[in-house]
Chains A and B, each alone.
Chain A
Amino acid sequence: MNKELFLTFLKIGGFTLGGGAAMVPMMEKEIVLKHQWLSKEEFLDIYAVSQATPGIFAVDMASHIGYKIGGVKSGIIAALGVVVPSIVIILAIAIVFSQFKDNPWVEAFFKGVRPAVVALLAVPIFSMARSARITWANCWIPIASTLLIWLCGVSPAWIILIAGLGGFLYGLYLNKKQ
């Protein structure tokens, strides 16, 4: 079972482009429909919890699915399955690329790529703003956290801690009012 679990996640990790969110449909197909290791409801619960816990989303999903199926050992095996293709591919690229880093053609290639990367990073800000329901009432939160990190050099960890604590206290206040 663990071998099959490992191979399934190896496939998911090795063949999905576009990061963790792109892996969810393939995970659902493999885990819920094909192998029927989990029910659709269990899968959706894991999806919700993985979004709410720290860590890399796809790995959280994998380890949680494995854990639910067969305990801690299966959790570790599933997580390894999903990361091994990444590590191997990236290592191969890193080793080759470090030999050619100072090659003028490679440098020319990346001179063209770098501004595009910054643009590709800027777009998710706006799509995430939509799904996080930013309104006039709460738009100060992303603005303040941007300025604190970017201009004041505050660690993003503080932003996470303060926002989490703020939300917790606000929730307690709302709860009391009810």
Chain B
Amino acid sequence: MTVVTREQIVHWLELTVTVLNENKDYLTQLDSAIGDADHGTNMDRGFRKVAEKLPTVADKDIGNILKMVGMTLISSVGGASGPLYGTFFQRGGMAADAREELSADELVTVLQGAVDGVQARGRAQPGDKTMMDALLPAMAALRAGVTAGKDSLGAMEDAVAAAEQGMKDTIPLQARKGRASYLGERSIGHQDPGATSSYLILNALLTALKE
């Protein structure tokens, strides 16, 4: 596999819609332990809207497709995850620009733009028990894989493994951002819902690259 095609990007988003719907109750259950019990519902609502709009942009360039996803999430998810995931896709779309396919290096650029955008908006640091704890290790692994000469699929496999580990590593952390931070030590022992949805979204990309 040499490039990531527009069709694979569209398929990634379709898979994300399905995966977040299947995991709606799971994410909400994680969120009820340390947050306000709405993460699954909110993400599902947002990506259902994405599913409605996806056919209208499926023949556009990757930048346009991702920016549509970003705007849709910003205006339909609410909570903290709306602006954060909205920014993820918007900034990813800006980095993708008018490309219709992505080389491995360009995939790194697009996801780096997406992750940088989330960090600028949410200002979370590693270890704060947020989605960044899945996204930052994933980004580092993706970049390292591509630098070492792996193709997009191989590097994404590393990235998803890192995201999964990062997600699990949020369990012993005490939250310092978001509503979970108010629980103090009581947030320890629970997996972060945002890190979990981030892992699910990256894993959907890996699935799309494999198919």
Same assembly: no
Q: What residues of chain A have their CB less than 8 Å away from a CB belonging to chain B?
A: none
